Amino acid sequence: MSAENPSRPSPALRTEAMEALLVERQLVDPKMIDGFIRNYEEAVGPLNGARVVARAWTDPEYRERLLADGTAAIAELGYKGPQGEQIVAVENTPSVHHLVVCTLCSCYPWPVLGLPPSWYKDPAYRSRAVREPRALLAEMGLELGDDVEVRVWDSSAEVRYMVLPERPACTDDLSEEQLAALVTRDAMVGIARAEVPVRS
């Protein structure tokens, strides 16, 4: 059912219909669609960004390059493509916390984070991140002290932002690969910190 016209067939059926119409006229090859899906389900996701962050945590010169020209530093690791023409990395510190949003649609740095999760596309996130980010983050489980400066980035053009989270304490003995495993999608958008999981 469709909202303003409840008699319309469901989006699922309309998707099937559109694909059938275009395939019949040989305008679309279903294998191309399979390829897009597979690419974002299997190849392009937040693990890419996590590798960027782990490299920046372990290689001070890479960190500098990342903060000076995110696009180029990220491409060094082989990550580029749609929604990644200009990527700016912003660094969290004990006194500064960054948060990324797109109020006008749901722009997101695909080459490093993949496709956006539901919460990022939710009207509550899109509307509130630029108006009451502290309250929003607290509801999402991240409490920030009054001494922490909050900086919000609204991705209103084709620049895409990723957060370089703070390296968790007591991780000096971890390899770059082990560090990457601590970096979540949520930390690279700014709704969480990178943390060492508590062992139970």
Give the tokens for residue 117: 């999760």
Q: Does 68 bind other proteins (CB under 8 A)?
A: no
Q: Which is nearer to other proteins, 174 or 186 (CB)?
A: 186
Q: How far is the CB of 172 from other proteins (least distance, A)?
A: 26
The catalytically annotated residue of 105, 127, 156, 175 is 105
Report the C-alpha gap between 115 and 94 in whole angstroms: 29
Q: Annotated catalytic, 106?
A: yes
Q: Which of residues 1-20 bind other proteins (CB under 8 A)?
A: 2-5, 8-20
| Signed CA dihedral, 117, 122, 125, 127: sign only | positive
Q: Annotated catalytic, 107?
A: yes
Q: Annotated catalytic, 170?
A: no
Q: How far is the CB of 20 from other proteins (least distance, A)?
A: 6
Report the C-alpha gap between 37 and 115 in whole angstroms: 10
Per-residue x/- marks for other proteins, 180-199, CB under 8 A? ----xxx----x--------
Q: Which stretch binds other proteins (CB under 8 A): 54-62, 163-171, 179-187?
A: 179-187
Within 8 A by CB and 6+ apart from 25, the residues are none
Burial (CB count <10 Å: 0-12, 13-18, 19+), residue 155 = buried
Q: Which stretch binds other proteins (CB under 8 A): 56-64, 144-152, 166-174, 175-183?
A: 144-152
Question: According to CB under 8 A, which one of 59, 68, 86, 178 is a site residue for other proteins?
Answer: 86
Report the C-alpha gap between 37 and 92 in whole angstroms: 32
Q: Does 67 bind other proteins (CB under 8 A)?
A: no
Burial (CB count <10 Å: 0-12, 13-18, 19+), residue 170 = exposed
Give the tokens for residue 136: 């929003």
Q: Answer yes or no: are the C-beta atoms of 48 and 111 closer than 8 Å.
A: yes
Q: Which is nearer to other proteins, 117 or 168 (CB)?
A: 117
Q: Annotated catalytic, 102?
A: yes
Q: Which of residues 100-129 bind other proteins (CB under 8 A)?
A: 103-106, 114-119, 121-128
